[in-house]
Amino acid sequence: MSSAFQPAPVLSRRQMLGGTAMGLSSVALSHLLQGNALGDTRSHFPAKAKRVIWLFMHGGPSHVDLFDPKPELIRHAGKPLPESYGTVETRRKVATNPLLAPVKPFKKRGQSGIEVSDFLPHMAELADEMCVIRSCHGDSVNHPQSVYQMNTGSILMGKPSMGSWVSYGLGTENADMPAFVVMPDPGGGLKGGPPAWGSGFLPATFQGTTMRAGESPILHLQSPQGSARQRATIDLIQQMNAMHVAKRGADSELDARIRAYELAFRMQSAAPEAVDISRETEATKKLYGMDDPTTKEFGTRCLLARRMIERGVRFVQLYSGDTNGWDAHEDVLKNHTEYCGRTDKPVAGLLRDLKQRGLLEDTLVIWGGEFGRMPMSEKGVGRDHNPWGFTTVLFGAGVKHGHVHGATDEFGLRAAQDKVHIHDLHATLLHILGMDHERLTFRLNGLDQRLTGVEGNLVKGILA
């Protein structure tokens, strides 16, 4: 008897219900993908900022050479810490090298009179837009742990980054673009690596999407197939994934992969336009320093950041500095001349561009690194790491402009007045975005986890 035709099998009740569940899960999956991409905007109160651009100066920029002038460093340059400073034990730990004066002069800038170093002439022109926090402090003297803490709130690897928390809490404003985009330094070698923008225990879909400057900012974006054929392929994959979910239950990694397929397909039509900077005017490119080989690379990424937030990306993070970056152990003058030269004009151009487009009114821009540097010299003209007192600068929505908050001690070694721990900084940044850090939680192993752990206080003194 021929086997070319076989009667359709009779479905059991269990099989019928399973097939129905698969169909419903496909519908639910499609709704979930669209809904989560846009976010249900779980803000706890009206937000001052809708989005964030974080300019991360990897390696530790020297606060005492950039934003935190210390006359006592000049007066005591070449000498050890005075005997009147701190305890004997403190002096013994940190006073093995003589004090090093700021390597470039500071000047009062703008109507606010905020003192900014000659290292940053372009940013200095925007002093009246700055909110300078001079009293930041953290808990680790090492790069990886400090990079993790500044990004995730913890010195331990594997916790969700702030960008992931913001994506989890607010979603994206554009279903065709990721909520969280990261642009690493093209030199690579971030100390701590990609976990700095990972999603940790949050669903994997909230991790940062990596973007690069150049002709292909997002790798493998171009489709080798026709759009209709690829759509059919993606639909088949999604149906099979939905069947898997229906049989086995929720799985964060699978859910992230499902969303990634769908987002990648949508990005193939949206992202090429978003990263096409050829449409920008020559005047705009010049504003970002793209006409100068020194500033072109970072300027390009700053311009891409503006284009990302214009198109609904919630959180964009740019890194300046490769494996060593701003880590000025050998020579502060040489190191900071190089890195300030690369970034100063592009950062100022970004801020000016955001302001003239009306975007700075609801965008929070963060400038800073994982820690600062010591007031003492290292190898004569360098400086070692300093997590006990350093500077972070904020611009834009929700913060006081032309304002200085807190202070380090007379030598810039430790936060001394109106101290701002990294947990406090995170709590305040979330507040500006309309989220209460104590209520933005994720249930894990029976406990409500949060970015700030069990700590963090709102820094009301910087809020507009």
Beta bridge partners of 367: 55, 393
Q: What is the pLDDT of residue 213?
A: 57
Whether the pLDDT of residue 1 is over 80: the answer is no
Q: Is the four-CA dihedral 394, 395, 400, 402 of positive or negative sign?
A: positive
Total tally of structural domains belonging to the chain: 1
Q: 340-368 pLDDT, tens per residue? A: 999 999 999 999 999 999 999 999 999 99
Count Cβ atoms below 10 Å from residue 86 Cβ, excluding itself.
Answer: 18
DSSP string, 357-392: TT-GGGEEEEEE-S-EE-SB-BTTTB--EE-SSEEE
Close Cβ partners of 409 (under 8 Å, ≥ 6 residues apart): 85, 389, 416
pTM metric for this prediction: 0.85
Q: What is the pLDDT of residue 84?
A: 79
CATH of the domain at 280: 3.40.720.10
Whether 258 is in a domain gets the answer no
Q: Rounded distance, CA 315 to CA 171, Å?
A: 10
**Residue (of 5, 291, 51, 317) closest to 170 by Cα position:** 51
Whether the pLDDT of residue 416 is over 80: the answer is yes
Q: What is the pLDDT of residue 43?
A: 85
Whether 173 is in a domain gets the answer yes
In terms of residue numbers, what domain contains 114?
Answer: 40-218+275-462
Q: Rounded distance, CA 346 to CA 349, Å?
A: 5
Whether the pLDDT of residue 21 is over 80: the answer is no
CA distances from 454 to 223, 261, 290, 425, 429 (A): 46, 36, 44, 14, 16
Whether 130 is in a domain gets the answer yes
* Least confident segment among 16-30, 134-148, 195-209, 413-427: 16-30
Whether 423 is in a domain gets the answer yes
DSSP string, 213-265: SSS-SSTT-S-SS-HHHHHHHHHHHHHHHHHHHHHH---HHHHHHHHHHHHHH
Whether the pLDDT of residue 214 is over 70: the answer is no
Whether the pLDDT of residue 241 is over 90: the answer is no
- pLDDT category of residue 148 using cuts at 50, 70 and 90: very high
- CB-neighbour burial class of residue 111 (10 A; exposed 0-12, middle 13-18, buried 19+): exposed
Three-class SS of residue 8? Answer: coil
Whether 247 is in a domain gets the answer no
Extract the tokens encoding 428.
Answer: 């305040």
Q: Rounded distance, CA 79 to CA 364, Å?
A: 41
Q: 92-128 pLDDT, tens per residue? A: 666 679 999 999 999 999 999 999 999 999 999 999 9
Cβ distance 150 to 160 under 8 Å? no
Alpha helices by DSSP H, listed for 7-98, are 13-38, 63-66, 71-75, 88-94
Q: What is the pLDDT of residue 30?
A: 38
Whether the pLDDT of residue 40 is over 50: the answer is no
Q: What is the pLDDT of residue 12?
A: 46
Whether 434 is in a domain gets the answer yes
**Percent of the chain residues past pLDDT 70, beyond the cut:** 78
Whether the pLDDT of residue 420 is over 70: the answer is yes
- pLDDT category of residue 22 using cuts at 50, 70 and 90: very low
The DSSP call for residue 329 is S
Close Cβ partners of 402 (under 8 Å, ≥ 6 residues apart): 110, 111, 112, 114, 127, 128, 129, 130
End-to-end CA distance of the chain: 84
Whether the pLDDT of residue 175 is over 90: the answer is no
Tell me the backbone φ, ψ of residue 443, rounded to 5 degrees.
Answer: -75, 125
Whether the pLDDT of residue 259 is over 80: the answer is no
Whether 49 is in a domain gets the answer yes
Whether 28 is in a domain gets the answer no
Q: 43-78 pLDDT, tens per residue? A: 899 999 999 999 999 999 999 999 999 999 999 999
Close Cβ partners of 31 (under 8 Å, ≥ 6 residues apart): none
Q: Hunting for tokens 């206080």 — which residue is that?
A: 457
Element of type H or E holding 336: helix 332-356
Count Cβ atoms below 10 Å from residue 238 Cβ, excluding itself.
Answer: 18
Cβ distance 91 to 403 under 8 Å? no
Cβ distance 161 to 200 under 8 Å? yes
Alpha helices by DSSP H, listed for 95-216, are 121-124, 143-152, 162-170
Extract the tokens encoding 449.
Answer: 């986890």
**Residue (of 422, 145, 191, 134) closest to 321 by Cα position:** 191
In this prediction, residues 177-190 reach a mean pLDDT of 91
